[in-house]
Amino acid sequence: MTTDWYAWHADYDQPDSALSRRLAEVRDQVRAALDTAPAGALRAVSLCAGQGSDLLPVLATHPRRDDVTARLVELDPRNAEVARRFAAEAGLHRVEVVVGDAARTDQYADLAPAHLVLACGIFGNIVDADIRNTVRHCAALCATGGTVVWTRHRREPDLVPTLCAWFAEEGFEPVALSSPADGVGVGAHRFTGMPRPLPAGATMFEFVR
């Protein structure tokens, strides 16, 4: 069965839903990353951005909003249009919404390494080998001192501890991790290494549903 990723967003509007709780935690981490980002121009990329719910509402009200050049990459044109309309109405003129395959490294070539990388709603929909591959590419997508915010469910077998170990292997240190009791799995890792060159024409992952 193919997921309708436009209809999927409806759970964000349900206060008691796991997605709603996850969204609140992700926004907290996005806000914290912007709060602690260095002075000057900032770059942000959002993979599988959906309707931009993770980033755009935070950016719209944040003091650093005009410092941020952002690219949101989303395959579903309906979701991309919602994000594009929100950005326009909020006056976020440095935000670009691209309809395309977010797994392709070429989508980010001119913005990498970025100060903020969002990989939300991905790790629960791809195989473990692709998760590992995406984490490896985060060391090219993310600038030194930059933050990756990611999500993964906490159902058994809980892959989150392994995910954290993979980030550590690639030069990231943990900033925040939601409690297993929350069930929603939101993490933030800061990159402490030197960014690798982002390989051209590479595919980081493929959705399995």
Considering only residues 17 and 30, tell me which one the structure prediction assigns the higher pLDDT. 30
- Residue 40's pLDDT is 98
Q: What is the pTM of this model?
A: 0.96
- Residue 83's pLDDT is 98
- Residue 12's pLDDT is 79
Q: What SS3 state is found at 2?
A: coil
Residue 159's contacts (CB-CB under 8 Å, 6 or more residues apart) are 123, 128, 131, 152
Whether the predicted pLDDT of 29 surpasses 70: yes
User: Tell me: the pLDDT tens digits for 79-123?
Assistant: 999 999 999 999 999 999 999 999 999 999 999 999 999 999 999
Query: DSSP string covering 104-173, please?
Result: BGGGGTTTPSEEEEEE-S-TTSS-HHHHHHHHHHHHHHEEEEEEEEEE---PSS--HHHHHHHHHHTTEE
User: Tell me: the pLDDT tens digits for 160-175?
Assistant: 999 999 999 999 999 9
Q: Rounded to an integer, what distance in angstroms lies between the CA atom of residue 22 and that of residue 74?
A: 19
User: Tell me: the pLDDT tens digits for 88-100?
Assistant: 999 999 999 999 9
The strands making up 172-177's β-sheet, listed across from edge to edge, are 95-99, 68-74, 42-47, 114-119, 142-151, 186-191, 172-177
Report percent pLDDT > 70 for the chain.
99
Q: CA torsion sign, 114 to 120 to 121 to 127?
A: positive
